[in-house]
Structure 1
């Protein structure tokens, strides 16, 4: 029971139950004829009912009280044929299943499995009478003795129930979000590690497909490639031969030119030395002078 039930009078028609106010997305606004006082406005705030002139419902800290959280996606089940080792006995030792939600309880905290075993024999009230009588017997015979602060256990139980019913929904939702973020982080690491493998697999598949497409043309391509290699080798050999022939012809040409130049130089030396000898002889000088005088006399006669 919330505080708003005591603060709000019973004759106000705009007040709706808490569960209906939580169930609706936007509660109906207060009627224009109503003039709520200070305490009624507090009650409307607790129930999430907008006041006059408000277009959106107020957010209350008690919206999640009493709600049961459920995961949007169930946990993935283990494949039936999964074995971490071939010798694993799944019949006698199956994998433990992780429950998606906590087991059903009674009296807010007692497991339902404690009651079902008695209920088949004693009926619905049998388990309650059994546990109640067992508790009374243990306390009466002082087999279960309370200490001085034993009564505080009831307070702690009530405190746990209060916190779990008020903030349990938000805590479970937050923990689930953090769990998903953590799982996404590890999935990102795995994807990053497998990125190279995925790329290699993709490229290898593409290469395989391309190889299948040109598989029939591979012998022809190899034959043509061999012919091109032979042609290239032939042309290279021809070029080497032509280069070698040109080098040898140039050598012979230079040899003949050097030989002719040497002969010419030797001939010029012989001629120049013979002329020098003839010039320096006395008979040559007299003969040259006599020939010159004769030519001068001939010129005088003609003149």
Structure 2
């Protein structure tokens, strides 16, 4: 596979390039040239995590180094406290001091540490260290801690907080967009039901119109039949009456009138007697 060598700043490089800034030698696939810088950094960190935090790392015998929150305690401004604790377990409380005095005495007696005209500088050096440690050390330590906290907040903590806030805002916007998308589904269903109701209303109106038209036509046919029947009946009655009237002779008419008068007289007699 074709690959290119990329040299990046890091913590392991003095053995590769001496006399220059620390570098880390990494093998970058040629296909990664087309990737963004963020993707490249993410892949680099993933590879580093596999090396330093992978299953092959013996965390029991070689635990991960942890940066202490505060520096270790010291005595006399520069002697670590754990040195005194080491002597306390073996020689008691006065052991460290006797060891220090004996060591200085040995160095002077064996002329390993030769006292010359520059010895006063040693006394002044340790005196200045003691003076600075007791008078200025607390204030300077507080100022440096505040400065360090400010730098940590600006470079590490605040960017993380801003990134979390931005991520939360993006998540909230995405959730709102999802909620709006769900609302669009309900809106679509409501519009669909509204259209269905409109279609149902138009269908019922047309059905009522068809019923009205059909009823009107049936009523018209019924009225036509009734008119035809009445016309036939009237014509038949008139025809019969005309024929009967034509068949009566004047003599029959006179006789019929006489019979009627006689019947009326008979009917009027009982009424008068009563």
TM-score for the superposition, normalised by structure 1: 0.39
Structure showing greater radius of gyration is 2
Query: Structure with the greater relative contact order (CA < 8 A, sep ≥ 6): 1 or 2?
Result: 1
TM-score for the superposition, normalised by structure 2: 0.43
More helix by share: 2
